Structure 1
Amino acid sequence: MDCIQQTTDAWGFESNCQLKFVNFEAHENHISHETEGLSKKHLVVRRGKPFKLTLLFRSQMWNPRSENLVLEVCLGNRSERIPVQFSKEEYQPHSWSAKVYPGGLHLKSAEVHVCSPVQSSVALHRLLLHLETRQTRRSYSVGDFVLLCNPWLKDDPVYMPMDVQIQEYVKSDYGVLYMGTPRSIAQRPWSFGQYEPGVLEACLTLLEVTPQHFKDKDKDFIRRTDPVYLSRVICAMVNSNDDLGVLEGKWQGGYKDGVNPTEWSGSADILRQWVSSNCEPVRYGQCWVFAAVLCTVMRVLGIPSRVVTVFNAAHDGDANLTIEEFYSSSGEKLNLSKDSIWNFHVWVECWMARGDLGAEFGGWQVVDPTPQERSAGVFCCGPCPVAAVRERCYEARYDTPFVYASVDADVVRVIVREGRVVGRKVDTESVGQLIYTKSLHSDAPDNLTGTYKGRKTMQQRVTMTLYSSAARCSLRSPPTGLSCQLSPQETAPALEVSLSIDGVPSVGENISMRVTVTNRSASPRLLMEHLNAQLKAFNSNPERSFWKAHKEVSVQPGEVLTLHHIIPPAEYEAFLAGEDIVNVAVVIKDKRTEERVLAFQEFNISSPQISVEIEGGDSIQVNKKYTARVSFVNPFTKVLSGAVLTVEGSGLLQGKCQERLLLMQPEEKIEKAVTIVASLAGTKLLMATFSQSSSSRVVSRSFHKVSVTAA
């Protein structure tokens, strides 16, 4: 029951009827509006759908013949009066209404059904109630209620026709993020946490501290009817670059003054920390953290959303729709370009109509909160229609050229030596090689690549060829001192070279590679092979080289020559840990003609497994104790010093539990038993990490999904 605060009679007269309290019927309304669990503090309802209030009067019942009952909804400086009427008529979708149905009047109580316009503002609204006669008005402050978007309602711009999709993209609090490289994809569970205490309130706070709200509250409230506006504003607020946003990004250096982005496993802790610190940015995030938090906020507000991973995502730094990469003549990748290709990049797709663009651009929209480039002066990206990317409609708002380049740009790979271009190859296939999201009802990936990359028409092929040719000749903005003069041998290469990795290398195992050279010429060739391996961050160019090989070989006319190479663990263990990415490149040089051909591969080292077993299975009940046993076996041939096994899980454990070994022998096991208790139903995650305190390196990380049901 909600307490009622009575205000002063406007004309100084007593009215006969007095309101005692109002029952917001939260349980019934939350079931009807599909908002169960979102808040224990507020009534949470969806726009365009009626919700019920029960009014209880004191000593005398409300008499509709002598007194008018009027509701008033307030938002900022704006308010709207809603006379309560007796009616059987359908609700009007574009205006507020309040009705008492026949039989809705009882002894000292009345059932009132209130319905908001289908395009109401997403916000916390204040509700007043007035009892009015010709001479008097008695007013009451009833309380607050939250209005959200309504994907079940056909007239709502976020309407989604299939209920199974709404259950996955709005109501589900569990997701899977895909990371790694196209040849070795890792799954990372994530708890969106929209039903965790305080998360809805954090999302409402986020809307109240935007630059748009500070500048003009009433205008902001009016525009919050539109999911296009909401998604753009929230996208900018998830990063802290321009405002009081949620997350600060960091991609290099240490994380001692915050949390390493790889340690987050859910959005709730991030949002609650941001609110409790008075909107100080949470440290730190990277693309998947930004995207997952954005997905949480959008689902809370009722906008269908999903997290999407683009493998080999291009960052077109000079906005020419072409990516330039530079290699030395010995196969070392050089940091000379404004462009980069991220092994994976994570953004969000949000579902909505695009009234500003036309029906053909409705549906899934790319919204990317990772601060890369400014859009209209602000670090945000989108909403960009996926349909516009597929059809290459670059003029469609917002940021379509940047998103298109991310998934379908051409790559020009250049070999340089002593300031001259000595080799060049154009790759039209690798960017956006795979685009994944979580499938409905399954952790398996749903391949979205075809929704972004339609077949090019002949005219598009001609346009892109001319565009790419101009880029190849000029390199747009060649690095200082680099000559773009072509070597004559580049026009018709007689050598074909490929590089492949055997299997998926795991920590503690050999990295096996094959270089295949095909001699298409009619004469024998004397070749020099240069092979180079570098550690690579997922979102930038490689760092240092940790392994090199050089060999002179000969190949006969028409011969296909295969060269095998192995990098043993002893030569990479000091540089690589689980989930690290490696760039391996080979340059084959003809010693007579000086023709050079480049091939490369990027792959991630898979982590050794951490075992997690829950007594009685992975389905547990609320408020009951269970034991989880976590263990790790040293896969290396060497002794590990400062071994640390850490277990944590939001909603299952308070804080972190650790087990330590000063020295850990090869094949030795470290084990930790922890007691878990779930406070809420839903999908929860246990995260276990194995690290070496002596080097501060995480060797392995594991996530274990736990299904929690009501007792």
Structure 2
Amino acid sequence: MASNADYAVQDVRSTDFHCEKNNQEHRTSEISTKRLIVRRGQPFHITVQFNRYQYDPDVDRLKLVAQTGPNPSETLGTKILFSLSDTINERRWSAVAVSSSSTKLSLNIHSAPNAKIGRYTLALQKITVDQTVIQPLGEFVVLFNPWCSEDEVFLSDAGQQNEYVLNEQGIIFTGCSEYIQPLPWNFGQFEDDILDICLKILDNSPKHLKNPTKDCTRRSSPVYICRTVSAMVNCNDDNGILFGKWDDPYTDGVYPGKWNGSVAILRQWNSSGCQPVCYGQCWVFAAVACTVLRCLGIPTRVVTNFESAHDTNGNLIIESEYDEEGMELERSDDSIWNFHVWVESWMARYDLRPGNDGWQALDPTPQEKSEGIYCCGPAPVKAIKEGDTDIGYDVPFIFAEVNADCETWVYSKKGKKLKVDADTRQVGQRISTKSVGSDDREDITNNYKYPEGSAQERRIFELANKRRVPLKPEKQLQLHLKTNDPIYNGTNVKVSAVISNKKSVKRVCTLKISAMKKKYNQSSRQKCIKKYQQEINVGPSEDKTVEMELSYAEYGEFLDKYNLIRLTALVIDGEENESVFSLRDISLINPKIAIQVRGVTMLSQEVLTEISFENILPTALTSCVFTLEGAGLIDGQMEIRVGTLNPGEVITKEASFIPKKIGLKKLTVDFDSDSLKDVKGYINIDIQAGEK
């Protein structure tokens, strides 16, 4: 028998990466079973087949070479050489020979828990007396690992691991604080080609294009990856994914409310040569970021802040200005959004002082620049709650989103400015995310702020140098707006203004009520639906109610996806020189889409569904269409055209598809027509494996 030195490593014939088994163990088989995708800090098994070679650990000097990025370097940690050893070292790259024969060598390889994520090549190196021979073994992908206790993104709870990493479907909460609407979303992070698109996003970041070698050396840090993704989801500074737009028209793109999931957006960006996809708004930016981060292995969830402040000058005060008719003047750059959506990612923060680990807020919606680019975070949620505004990144901005004070001013026709309201409680309400394991809403407001009025809250305000509005004595003239909740789209809206006179004398006042179109992120100047004015007498210590009604004929043409209407009321007592103001945003409820599943729901077998919709509006709907989407259920989207629906008419359509993945999946259905758009419905479907 010839000696081992007679044979070189180039005698390697093939490498079996055992993709199906390894990927199953690394929880990546939903992405693919055709190529090796592993999570860092966890072993995987390979088998090397030789033409003629017998491995002898006492003689052979073999090393494995793992490389990532351009110009791999041992110094920079993008080229790792490691010898075969007797035992696995779980803190660094290591390998052991499990078995060997005359033609086969089986290895267990363990990547470091702080390995750079991304594409790798693996090679076998043999050193002899007179030469070093390197034989490529193949390629694989390394992701973050929330199941590894040494990984910065480690998450100990199994339910949270499944929800925030593995769940491809979700719920995003929108609307307004008094009527929260669940929006189904298909994250689809394990759909075909999404992983490659996510890695392409990293490779198209400005930092990578400027210095790809340096960028790849930093890809071990979830903080760095999150900040990169936050910037790349919007296209304001780079070849990012989404173009944000909040005003009509949207005819040269897709209205943001039309999207049902991230997959179509990411595929369009990829196929168009990295041209921005038109259009996105906050929940779309956040949902796409969630898809990318979950795909890369970082636990991430979508979070909605109701009554969210956008403080542009950092003074923690949002000023709203109205004219004497109750119409917003929109002269301030500050604003309060009915809701604003961002994401949280879970990680350790070794770059900060202790106590800032856990959920980190990230906001890919382009609002303000951070270090010169449009991104936001990661900001420790604990730091936001404690008012630690010196902590990176962007804690002061998010602190203001959930804590800013609100001041309301009314301008007379002569230009006189009068403060009519000051509210320290309006901003940062019912902060919401999807519950683990269900579609219910979880309120996480207490993660971001202490209870209003508590001693801790006052301490935090002082720590953050918050400008508090001083408490004033109770007003002698008070005003409150009420509506007939719940309010369904197509019905009349009954508005009641309750004026309270706390004095012991009669008051003669002017009441002005205005209804205007409202966009979720700001008001819509000059889009007035209705104005109402009345002179009223309010007796001593009397509560007087004045009613106004809005019909569908008046408001129907102004509605968009969220059916938001802003109601304002202003009462002026000219004799006493006293004014009082009240504001209420309402969101009209759209008709529901009813979805039923008929028969069995088995993998690779046709699933039958029945979709029903009733037109509850007092007008006919034309050009009606259902759009169906669901990760693991439907490849892309399915359209069912309906035609015209008369008032009160119910339409029922059947749809069928063949599921490609087992487990609990979410089928989303979007209804569109000429005058009623983006009505969403969904159903959870449990796909069984069936008999083998």
TM range (shorter): over 0.9
1:83 and 1:600 map into 2 onto residues whose CA distance is 67
Name the counterpart of 1:590.
573
- Determine which of 342, 361, 383 is the counterpart of 2:337: 342
Name the counterpart of 1:612.
595
Q: Does 1:74 align with 2:72?
A: no
Question: Higher mean Cα deviation, 664-673 or 295-304?
Answer: 664-673
- Determine which of 521, 534, 558 is the counterpart of 1:551: 534
Question: Is the 2:662–2:689 contact (alpha carbons within 8 Å) kept by the matching residues of 1?
Answer: yes
Any unmatched runs of 5+ in structure 1?
Answer: 1-11, 473-489
Quote how far apart the aligned CAs of 1:597 are: 0.3
1:92 and 1:573 map into 2 onto residues whose CA distance is 63
Q: Does 1:96 align with 2:76?
A: no
Q: Does 1:373 align with 2:371?
A: no
2:462 and 2:107 map into 1 onto residues whose CA distance is 64
SS at match of 2:589: coil
Identical positions, percent: 34
- Determine which of 421, 426, 437 is the counterpart of 2:422: 426
Q: Does 1:499 align with 2:495?
A: no
SS at match of 1:213: helix
Quote how far apart the aligned CAs of 1:571 are: 2.5
SS at match of 2:383: helix
- Aligned in 2, Cα 1:256/1:561: closer, same or farther, shift over 3 Å? same
Q: Does 1:519 align with 2:501?
A: yes
- The CA RMSD over aligned residues, in Å, is 2.4
Quote how far apart the aligned CAs of 1:60 are: 3.3
SS at match of 1:327: strand
Name the counterpart of 2:388.
393
1:213 and 1:654 map into 2 onto residues whose CA distance is 30
After TM superposition, the score normalised by the length of structure 2 is: 0.92
- Aligned in 2, Cα 1:363/1:83: closer, same or farther, shift over 3 Å? closer
- Aligned in 2, Cα 1:249/1:683: closer, same or farther, shift over 3 Å? farther
Name the counterpart of 1:285.
280
Name the counterpart of 1:626.
607
Which residue identity does 1:670 align to in structure 2?
Answer: I
Q: Does 1:704 align with 2:687?
A: no
2:201 and 2:581 map into 1 onto residues whose CA distance is 49
After TM superposition, the score normalised by the length of structure 1 is: 0.90
Name the counterpart of 1:570.
553
Name the counterpart of 1:302.
297
Name the counterpart of 1:485.
none
- Aligned in 2, Cα 1:458/1:17: closer, same or farther, shift over 3 Å? closer
Name the counterpart of 2:240.
245
1:503 and 1:269 map into 2 onto residues whose CA distance is 36
1:40 and 1:237 map into 2 onto residues whose CA distance is 29
Deviation string for 1:490-517 (max 9, x for gaps)? 9873201111222121112121222222
Which residue identity does 1:642 align to in structure 2?
Answer: T
SS at match of 1:170: helix
Q: Does 1:537 align with 2:519?
A: yes
Name the counterpart of 1:440.
436
- Determine which of 605, 608, 628 is the counterpart of 1:648: 628
Q: Does 1:219 align with 2:214?
A: yes
SS at match of 2:355: helix
Question: Higher mean Cα deviation, 589-598 or 230-239?
Answer: 589-598
- Aligned in 2, Cα 1:397/1:112: closer, same or farther, shift over 3 Å? same
- Aligned in 2, Cα 1:457/1:59: closer, same or farther, shift over 3 Å? closer
- Determine which of 645, 661, 673 is the counterpart of 2:643: 661
- Aligned in 2, Cα 1:49/1:560: closer, same or farther, shift over 3 Å? same
Quote how far apart the aligned CAs of 1:666 are: 2.4
- Aligned in 2, Cα 1:700/1:203: closer, same or farther, shift over 3 Å? closer
- Aligned in 2, Cα 1:42/1:17: closer, same or farther, shift over 3 Å? closer
Name the counterpart of 1:603.
586
Matched length: 672
Quote how far apart the aligned CAs of 1:463 are: 7.1
Name the counterpart of 2:181.
186
Equivalent residues in 2 for 1:318-333 (5 A)?
318-333=313-328
Any unmatched runs of 5+ in structure 2?
Answer: 74-78
Q: Does 1:84 align with 2:83?
A: yes
- Aligned in 2, Cα 1:691/1:154: closer, same or farther, shift over 3 Å? closer
Equivalent residues in 2 for 1:449-464 (5 A)?
449-454=445-450, 455=454, 456=456, 458-461=458-461
Question: Higher mean Cα deviation, 553-562 or 670-679?
Answer: 670-679
Quote how far apart the aligned CAs of 1:636 are: 2.7
Quote how far apart the aligned CAs of 1:608 are: 1.1
Quote how far apart the aligned CAs of 1:154 are: 1.8
Deviation string for 1:665-692 (max 9, x for gaps)? 3222233222222233355444444444
Question: Is the 2:9–2:133 contact (alpha carbons within 8 Å) kept by the matching residues of 1?
Answer: no
- Aligned in 2, Cα 1:346/1:682: closer, same or farther, shift over 3 Å? farther
Question: Is the 1:578–1:608 contact (alpha carbons within 8 Å) kept by the matching residues of 2?
Answer: no
Deviation string for 1:278-324 (max 9, x for gaps)? 21112211111111111111111111110000011111122211101
Q: Does 1:259 align with 2:240?
A: no
